[in-house]
Structure 1
Amino acid sequence: MVQVRVLGIALDAAQQHVILLKPVLAGEGDGRILPIWIGAQEATSILVAVEGAVPPRPLAHDLMIAMLETLEASVTRVDVTRIDDGTYYAEITIDTPRGIRVIDARPSDAIALASRAEATMWVADEVLAEAGILDTVSDPEDGAEEEVEEFRRFLDDVDPEDFQG
């Protein structure tokens, strides 16, 4: 498993949202980032959490976190465990008063929860090897605008089907 963080969310040529996950430690994941296509609502929810924005009304993932807190439970980690025919699978690990529980989830929901709970996010080595793309992009804060533009050109030409087995 490789620990990752949200690098950003972008739109591909078909105007579909793509979340980009990047290894936390340099050199892990063979210099790859993982694109996962997600829905517009999930993209909004993740962006709200990552940017620390406060929506006027709680979003569904805010409600989930509030429910967990009320039950004295917390999200401790999220794992993107596998990819099968272009579909990603994830698990959410929750610490409850009755012990650790692992719940199957869509990666977009798992990442939205992890972003709110400040839980660690992990990707299986096999998933990163199969679906990861070479990281030719640096963080925008690093001032690598040319590399960001190159990656945007890549997104304009790529489709989710390109990552199916």
Structure 2
Amino acid sequence: MTEATAIAMAQADEPPPRPLTHDLFRDVLDALSVRLSTVNIVSLRDGIFFADLIFSNGVEVSARPSDSIALALRTGARIFASEEVMQEAGVTIPDDQEDEVEKFREFLDTISPEDFGRAG
């Protein structure tokens, strides 16, 4: 659940009061002048996803996809999934649902918590 929170905070561009582990990792990479280039979600075995982090110096490190995605969102790295993973776990969204999702995103961009008022 910690990784889900870290991903959500990065997507919302909300910095935490204190750096999370993924923020620390990003800062260490910056200090070492190494960039996370790509996250590859490489396989799905027995219901468990596996990912590889690809760094600008050519080093590859195996990692959990949740951590990988949280770090990619903080560093701007590209995220890819293998064809095998997409065939096994991918979800196709019909065009009409994509339109509804886009409309909902636009709605969310225009509201604030104050729009909901308070229950009395």
TM-score range, shorter chain: 0.7 to 0.9
Say which structure is richer in strand: 1
> Is the alpha carbon distance of 1:54 and 1:128 closer, same or farther for their aligned partners in structure 2, counting shifts above 3 Å?
same
Answering whether residue 21 of structure 2 is matched by residue 60 of structure 1, we say: yes
Alignment deviations for residues 24-81 of structure 1 (CA, whole Å, 9 cap, x no partner): xxxxxxxxxxxxxxxx100000111111111110001000000111111111110000
Separation in 2, partners of 1:141, 1:81: 27
Separation in 2, partners of 1:128, 1:73: 29
Q: Which segments of 5 or more consecutive residues in structure 1 lack a partner in the other structure? A: 1-39, 146-165
> Is the alpha carbon distance of 1:140 and 1:91 closer, same or farther for their aligned partners in structure 2, counting shifts above 3 Å?
farther
Of 138, 142, 150, the match for 2:102: 142
Q: CA deviation at 1:138?
A: 2.2
Q: Which segments of 5 or more consecutive residues in structure 2 lack a partner in the other structure? A: 106-120
2:76 equivalent in structure 1: 118
Say which structure is richer in helix: 2
2:42 is matched by which residue type in structure 1? T
TM-score by length of 1: 0.58
2:65 equivalent in structure 1: 107
SS at match of 1:122: strand
Larger radius of gyration: 2
Query: Which contiguous aligned blocks of 4+ residues in structure 1 show a shift greater than 4 angstroms?
Result: none
TM-score by length of 2: 0.79
Q: CA deviation at 1:135?
A: 1.5
> Is the alpha carbon distance of 1:144 and 1:93 closer, same or farther for their aligned partners in structure 2, counting shifts above 3 Å?
same
Of 45, 53, 60, the match for 1:92: 53
SS at match of 2:27: helix
Q: Give the number of equivalent residue pairs.
A: 103
Q: CA deviation at 1:133?
A: 2.2
Q: CA RMSD in A?
A: 1.8
2:116 equivalent in structure 1: none
Separation in 1, partners of 2:50, 2:24: 22
